[in-house]
């Protein structure tokens, strides 16, 4: 049976334009569904996904006719984006929490896991397009080391490496106190950079172990994983004694601070430089390490 693909595409887009004028509150969902359908029709009209380079003439023809009959918004680039949108989203669930401008930007990502990560993080944190761009520019996906096990209930799965800390002069050498104060002054940014669900519980938290007082650099709580998080800052390479130090803090919080309904406390050691050989001998799965980078 002969299918007039151009008429099908024009009808889909015309219906979408008419719907958006009546149902403004759900126009984003309508856009996504319409552009997905148009992308599918373009692929079919071109004879399949692998014939894109042979279909540029057809897209140009469709673009000229659509612009003449429906108005602006259907140039060659937009139609190519709709085609790519269908190919990328085929088999995936459309998320109408993301707008077309989000998806259009994400279409430049070829790696499927990377694409899925940024869709997920945009949905969960309700990111604007500008915020999404900043995260991609900072190579957040690469710093997290995202894998499919991201959804498992482990607080470390969203801790980036390195953690980006913004300061006025990134070339200056900070001591631990200065690093601590820099983070404290920009705590909101630090929590966002650290990952999902982190909230501030305290700074330089004073605890007594035996007859000595100790101070936890930062005590956080992760609402997603229902656990306290001990953050220990170090301006040196990772050392074996840091593990013992954080272990003591974790045990203290478990016994003295956390509630019975909270999960076990975890610890994060932020160092200037990693030492993988030391980590090989750390068998405590409550302790995680990351590095930081001043920018």
Which pLDDT belongs to residue 209?
Answer: 87
Which pLDDT belongs to residue 281?
Answer: 46
Distance CA 10, CA 32 (A): 15
- pTM for the complete prediction? 0.62
Asked if 76 and 57 touch (Cβ cutoff 8 Å), the reply is no
Residue 153: what are its φ and ψ, rounded to 5°?
Answer: -75, 65
Distance CA 131, CA 161 (A): 19
Which pLDDT belongs to residue 82?
Answer: 93
Q: Any idea which fold 150-294 has?
A: Trna Endonuclease; Chain: A, domain 1 (3.40.1350)
Query: Which residue is listed with tokens 């800390």?
Result: 165
CA distances from 229 to 8, 174, 288 (A): 55, 24, 10
Which pLDDT belongs to residue 143?
Answer: 81
Across the 295 residues of the chain, what is the mean pLDDT of every consecutive 10-residue run?
77 83 70 91 82 72 90 89 92 88 93 90 89 90 62 55 80 84 90 86 92 93 89 88 90 93 90 66 69 83
Phi-psi region of 224 (alpha: psi -120 to 50; beta: other; left: phi over 0): alpha
Which pLDDT belongs to residue 146?
Answer: 52
CA angle, corner 143, sides to 202 and 127, nearest 5? 70
Which pLDDT belongs to residue 18?
Answer: 82
Which residue ranges make up each domain of the chain? 5-144, 150-294
């Amino acid at each position: 049976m002969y299918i007039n693909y151009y008429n099908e595409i024009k009808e889909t887009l015309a219906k979408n334009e008419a719907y958006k004028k009546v149902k403004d509150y759900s126009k984003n969902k309508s856009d996504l569904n319409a552009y997905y359908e148009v992308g599918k029709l373009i692929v079919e009209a071109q004879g399949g996904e692998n014939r894109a380079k042979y279909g540029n003439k057809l897209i140009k023809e469709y673009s000229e006719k659509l612009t003449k009959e429906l108005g602006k918004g259907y140039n060659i680039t937009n139609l190519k984006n709709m085609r790519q949108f269908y190919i990328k989203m085929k088999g995936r669930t459309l998320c109408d929490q993301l707008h077309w401008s989000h998806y259009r930007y994400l279409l430049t990502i070829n790696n499927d896991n990377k694409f899925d990560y940024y869709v997920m993080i945009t949905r969960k944190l309700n990111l604007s397009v500008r915020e999404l761009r900043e995260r991609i520019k900072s190579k957040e996906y690469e710093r997290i080391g995202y894998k499919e096990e991201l959804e498992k209930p482990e607080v470390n799965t969203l801790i980036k490496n390195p953690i980006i800390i913004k300061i006025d002069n990134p070339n200056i050498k900070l001591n631990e106190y200065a690093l601590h104060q820099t983070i404290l002054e920009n705590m909101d940014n630090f929590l966002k950079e650290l990952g999902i669900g982190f909230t501030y519980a305290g700074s330089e938290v004073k605890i007594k172990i035996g007859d000595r007082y100790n101070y936890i650099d930062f005590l956080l709580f992760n609402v997603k994983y229902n656990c306290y998080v001990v953050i220990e800052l170090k301006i040196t390479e990772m050392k074996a004694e840091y593990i013992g130090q954080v272990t003591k803090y974790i045990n203290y919080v478990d016994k003295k601070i956390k509630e019975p309904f909270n999960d076990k406390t975890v610890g994060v050691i932020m160092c200037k430089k990693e030492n993988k050989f030391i980590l090989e001998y750390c068998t405590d799965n409550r302790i995680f390490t990351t590095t930081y980078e001043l920018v």
